[in-house]
Structures are given as structure tokens and as C-alpha cells.
């Protein structure tokens, strides 16, 4: 099979690509948005990711409040009906917690059930519950 243009562009960038977030854990309730993290240690070369990711109809969010991260969204109006995918470009050390938490949820179904119960409860009580989830994640990882 011939490599795609996207694959050719990334061939020279030794990076890690991981599916993170709740959709990465089988059976866990989740919003219908896939989160993908690209961990790459050479921050000065991050702009090399921009064109190939945008060629896949992702929009670069230049106003990202995290200056040490790049963030891309697919499907967000006016470019689509609703967000369907996020791509996070980060330094490897900045991606460790999300990957470790995903792995912990996969390995421990009881932890995944507790996390799902927390998310459901927070979704009922708070319009935006991301900050509330952070405490649970840090506790689960012993932070």
C-alpha cells in the first residue's frame, strides 16, 4: 500500500500518537469527541504538524490558553455541525498524565465505573465539569 501524503509528511517526525480521554476506554460513557495527543519533544518543529493536520479538515485554535500546546478541532461550527475530534500537540512530559489515567481506567474497571459515576453526577450539577474531573484524576494517579 502506498503511504498517504499525510504519512509522508510525518515520516521524519518521530512522535507518539495516542488516543486519550473517555472514548479511549471501552465501555466508558463519553461525549462523542475523540481526543488524540501527539507527543513530540522538539517544540520548535511543532509548526510542521500544522499543514498536514489542517489538510484533514482540522482547525488550528491559535487562541489556545496553554502557550506550550497546540490544539486542533474538527467539526466545530462554522466548519461543521459539532466538534467530533480534538488533536493536542504537546511535549511528551505534558502528555504523561492523560495517558497514565487512560491506562489506569483500562486496567481497573472499578476505577472506570467510579469515574463514570463522577462524570454523570458532575454533568447533572455543573454545565462545565472539566475542572471538577481534574481532582479525581490527580487522586487516582496519586498526585
User: Which residue range forms the structural domain that includes residue 115?
Assistant: 5-140
> What's the chain's length in residues?
143
* pLDDT per residue as tens digits for the range 46-99: 999 999 999 999 999 988 888 889 999 999 887 778 889 999 999 999 999 999
Q: Chain-wide mean pLDDT for the chain?
A: 87
What value does the mean pLDDT take over residues 87-116? 96
For 65, counting Cβ atoms within 10 Å of its Cβ (0-12 exposed, 13-18 middle, 19+ buried), the class is: exposed
Q: How many domains does the chain have?
A: 1
- The backbone torsions φ and ψ at residue 104, rounded to the nearest 5 degrees and listed phi first, read -65, -40
Location of C-alpha cell 513530540:
40
Q: Quick one: DSSP state of residue 39?
A: E
Q: What CATH number is associated with residue 80? A: 3.30.460.10
Nearest C-alpha neighbor of 74 from the set 61, 65, 62 = 61
Q: Quick one: DSSP state of residue 74?
A: E
Amino acid at each position: 500500500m502506498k503511504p498517504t501524503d499525510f504519512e509522508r509528511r510525518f515520516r521524519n517526525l518521530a512522535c507518539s500518537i495516542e488516543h486519550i480521554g473517555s472514548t479511549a476506554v471501552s465501555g466508558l460513557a463519553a461525549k462523542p469527541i475523540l481526543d488524540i495527543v501527539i507527543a513530540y519533544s522538539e517544540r520548535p518543529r511543532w509548526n510542521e504538524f500544522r499543514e498536514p493536520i489542517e489538510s484533514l479538515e482540522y482547525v488550528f485554535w491559535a487562541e489556545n490558553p496553554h502557550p506550550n500546546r497546540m490544539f486542533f478541532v474538527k467539526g466545530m461550527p462554522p466548519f461543521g455541525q459539532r466538534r467530533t475530534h480534538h488533536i493536542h500537540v504537546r511535549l511528551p512530559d505534558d502528555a504523561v498524565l492523560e495517558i497514565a489515567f487512560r491506562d489506569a481506567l483500562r486496567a481497573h474497571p472499578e476505577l472506570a465505573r467510579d469515574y463514570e459515576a463522577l462524570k454523570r453526577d458532575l454533568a447533572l450539577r455543573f454545565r462545565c465539569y472539566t475542572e471538577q474531573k481534574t481532582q479525581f484524576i490527580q487522586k487516582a494517579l496519586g498526585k
